[in-house]
Amino acid sequence: MLSHEDNELLVRVGPGTAMGEMMRSFWMPALLESELPEKDGKPVRIRLLGEDLVAFRDSEGRIGLLDEHCPHRGSSLALGVNGECGLRCLFHGWKFDVNGQCTDTPAEPEGTKLANAMRVKAYPIEVAAGMIWTYMGPKECQPPFPHFPWFDMPEGHCEAFKVIYECNYAQAIEGAIDSAHAGVLHRESPWGHEAKFPHEKDLRPKLEVEFTSYGLRYCAVRKDGDEGHARVTQVPLPFWTFIPSDGGNSPIFRRHRRLINAFVPRDDETTWHIQFFYDETHLIDREHRIAEAGTAHDDAFFKLVGNKQWYNQDREMMRTQNMSGITGIAAQDHAVSETMGKIADRTKEHLGRTDMAVVAWRRLMLKAARDMAATGRAPAAAAAPIDWSSVTAETFVFPLGETTWKDVLPLPGELRPDISSAA
């Protein structure tokens, strides 16, 4: 459990909060590149870390990400005219370029220099892997844009997805770093029937956590006959999880496919669940993946089947097909996290041995936020160059008693944490 004070520190992400400022020291995925398909097209409203923003692609194809509200009288720039290399407010015609500079105030007297003095907050942009990324921290502290392995996939071998998780980011990510739930919540046979997979047969994995320079990694070791079955998940700061491929005898389309989760806070009570699926050996089928996840959504990225529909839980399905009675792996995760409430009250929880990685992640996040608030320095994971090709999530078997998972997948020396920064 957490104290009320620690829980508040963990979950509040708006401007001026310790956790929000720590998160703003990282580059983050913001919206799909496909949401801005054309020059001078429709602007897109986007909420990030409690801030209301507007994104647009100008006449030259450049992308702007601005404070949504015009500094004149506060009207939404998302209503405005996008053209002639700027976004023009619908109220009095003030126009702003992708850098946030006002370039025209047509209702003001001729010769006025008011436009020169007017700016709206603008955030820098990068485009990679089908996503538009941004950095929301101080300009003088802007780190280099990271290069992740999925950026290098051939066309069609990496696909980006997003949907809204209707709860705080922390309970969303905690569901993804809890390996023990996989054999229960995601069980592909009814409770009491014969289990199909190693993670369903052994419901008591041995968990080990290792802190790293970028966050942490943890391994869930289960028995698979005389061998150990290991799943190593990477958890980089501040909201990432790298999920391994299923490997082994899993269906061919899942054997080498890797999943990256980014649980980017929309505000304190909702989260952008952004996923990158990539596979060097097979094309990613978008429609199949959305169906597999159970995350079909409307134009605003809210799930079509969510809490209001009680996730279309089917009790007959629970008796005959799977544990949850809910269709879709991600939908199952969303259901258990969202029904905790918009912000979970961690003062009331009772944790067990299988929550080790959750506890470690909380400690890491709280320490990172407090350290930055005290020193003004961003976490090393935000600023230090990292070879992300060395940060791999893996599934493998190994001989129990003869070796360990760390022998099979050792942590490179350059990724070991500074002892003073470990949680």
pLDDT score at 423: 54
pLDDT score of 50:
98
CB burial string 15-25: b at 16+ within 10 A, e below = eebbbbbbbbb
Query: Do 364 and 211 contact (CB within 8 A), yes or no?
Result: yes
Q: How many CA atoms lie within 13 A of 180 on its CB side?
A: 15
Strand duo 51-57 + 206-211: pairing: unpaired
What integer pLDDT is reported at residue 205 of this predicted model?
Answer: 84
Can you tell me the distance from the alpha carbon of 359 to that of 19, in angstroms, rounded to the nearest whole number? 17
- Average pLDDT per run of 10 along the chain, which is 423 residues long? 96 98 98 98 98 98 98 98 98 98 96 95 98 97 96 96 98 91 86 75 84 96 86 97 80 79 98 96 93 95 97 96 94 97 96 93 98 96 92 91 91 84 53
What is the C-alpha to C-alpha distance for residues 209 and 366, in angstroms, rounded to an integer? 17
Write out the H or E segment, with its range, that includes residue 289. helix 286-293
Cβ neighbours of 394 (radius 10 Å): 18
Radius of gyration of the chain, Cα coordinates, nearest whole angstrom:
23
Q: Taking the CB of residue 139, how many other CB atoms lie within 10 A of it?
A: 8
The CATH number of 27-141, from 3.50.50.60, 3.40.30.10, 2.102.10.10, 3.40.50.1100, is 2.102.10.10
Architecture of 149-421 per CATH?
Alpha-Beta Complex (3.90)
Contact call for residues 194 and 378 (beta carbons, < 8 A): no
**What is d(CA 330, CA 166) in angstroms, rounded to the nearest whole number?**
13
DSSP bridge pairs for 76: 69
Whole-angstrom distance, CA of residue 122 vs CA of residue 114: 19
Is residue 169 a contact partner of residue 240, using CB atoms and an 8 Å limit? no
Question: What is the residue type of 171?
Answer: Q
Q: Which part of the chain has CATH 3.90.380.10?
A: 149-421
Residue extent(s) of CATH 2.102.10.10 domains in the chain: 27-141
CA–CA dist 65, 54 (Å, integer): 6
247-278 burial code (b ≥16 CB/10 A, e <16): eeeeeebebebbbbbbbbbbbbebbbbbbbbb
Six token digits for residue 189: 């046979």
The model carries a pTM of 0.94
Residue among 267, 273, 266 at smallest CA distance from 241: 273
Burial class for 30, CB neighbours closer than 10 Å (0-12, 13-18, 19+): buried
Residue-level pLDDT at 250: 65
Task: Return the SS3 of 373.
Answer: helix
